[in-house]
Structure 1
Amino acid sequence: MKKILVTGATGQLGSEFLVLASTYTHYEWTFADRAEITLDNLELLQSQLEKNNPDIIFNCGAYTAVDKAESEQKLAFEVNHLAVELIAKYSAKKNVKLIHVSTDYVFDGKSSIALNEEAETNPINVYGESKLAGEIACLKENPESIIIRTSWVYSKFGNNFVKTMQRLMQERDEINVVNDQVGSPTYAADLGQAMIDIVESSKWIPGIYNYSNEGEISWYEFALSIKEFGVYNCKVGGIPSSSYPTPAKRPSFSLLDKSKIKSVYNVKVPYYKESLKKLFI
């Protein structure tokens, strides 16, 4: 029985894997939270990996506080770069299959067409810089690894945009949401299924892949869909990013082209509304 190690077990994606694991019982699953896999202590991390001795690693653990990263640069790079480098080295040495999760924030947002895996990277915030450094280190230390870039992740677990909107729409009569940042949301359960599909496949083709749900929308349009499914009475207005300043800049366009993962692994990519609806059933 092959052993799968999931880092970041209490995060959105890690929590969805806990649900998916009940369907995939032919694997031995280990769910490691911060206590079991410490991504900001490299010495400890090395021994923790040796102790777990997995066949497959789903590296879902990350520093994801985008705004906080601007003032916690060292910690962001430790978790998103140096820990990934170590995990990649370990997986290469032990011949472990590694799927590492990255982000659309490696892009600067200046594109006007869906970004494929070859698109030029140019992060505009510390979080994006740390994640790109992790990608580069991952492929350098283990060229056989797979990286999946995703965007706007949400789930029924953890903190995310959907849950924030649900709360605000019940608390307030009116809210404003930025309407000039375009991309596509990702239901974490769909991303988890895609990662399992890759492992279940008869082939292993390393490199970078994109995965998000289908649809090209703004955060404002996403909020309108949440309002629709939640049947909330709250009025939702659209505002420019300049009206909602944050410590970290966000890419204004980060729609991901999913052609590669669909053609190589025959992964099904649902339309974003199909997946969003599941949170309201």
Structure 2
Amino acid sequence: MYFTYIQISKFDIVQRLVLYKTGDVRSFYRYNSSWINIWSVPKDLCFVYDICGAYGACNRNNLQFCSCLEGFKPKDKHAWFLQDWWSSGCLRSSPLYCSPINSTTDGFLQKNDISLAKEKAVSYSQYPTLPTCRSACLENCSCKAFDLTNSTPPICRMWFGDLFNVRVASNSQPVFLRMAASELQQSISNGGSNQGRVLSISLPVSTAFILVLAFLVIIFLLRRHGMLGKGGDMEGHELLSASLRTFTYKELRIATNNFRDKLGKGAFGSVFKGSLPDDTLVAVKKLRGL
């Protein structure tokens, strides 16, 4: 794909076009000693083809706008955590059995908050009901999702192969995602349902207190054994600095989903729940001031 443009201004304007790795193109012009962004396409990054990769859903309202569908996990957790590259997509947490003889090996999770690329769907008029449409999709191992249109008569639409260009959309038509029976059962046992209800996990404020207490105990033990010096003991300070990893503000903001889930607050700031790329739960304290 390509595009051209013609500069019709009589003034000598220096311009440049930048193609970003997220897939959007931006135009800049030189003003004094600065570059001014005058336009970009597309306006919505979720319209960039394959921006979240296979089984990744795009939500323009989120800080990290790519997320894996339920039952999937990022193929490259580190890249997703740093918001560096999403097109690697997601992998299934549990493989499909694809056994049409035993219908209990695979199932379908109903999602009411996503939309699939309609141009990739294959339509069938001979399966005008949900049971017939479901059975037809289940019998084909390549069928990964289906839905039933609201038209008269209803049309059964199926998506074959990996799912790309999934978007988060409110009040969308129900879509049924194919999942392994174990993943489907786990979703239900964790409080979900085959309606695709979003799971919400909350931790008590005592979790933050326990983490802080554990940190203080470690400091006490290190000092007791002479591994961590007091005051101006630079040897102990270097040992502690070498054993701890520093995080950038961007990493902490992503880990806490923009400081969304507050565990508690004190005189110096608030504590938020976070999750690192390796799924380690952490408590992040955001200070009120410097």
TM-score (norm 2): 0.21
Tell me which protein shows more helix as a share of its residues. 1
TM-score (norm 1): 0.21
Larger Rg: 2
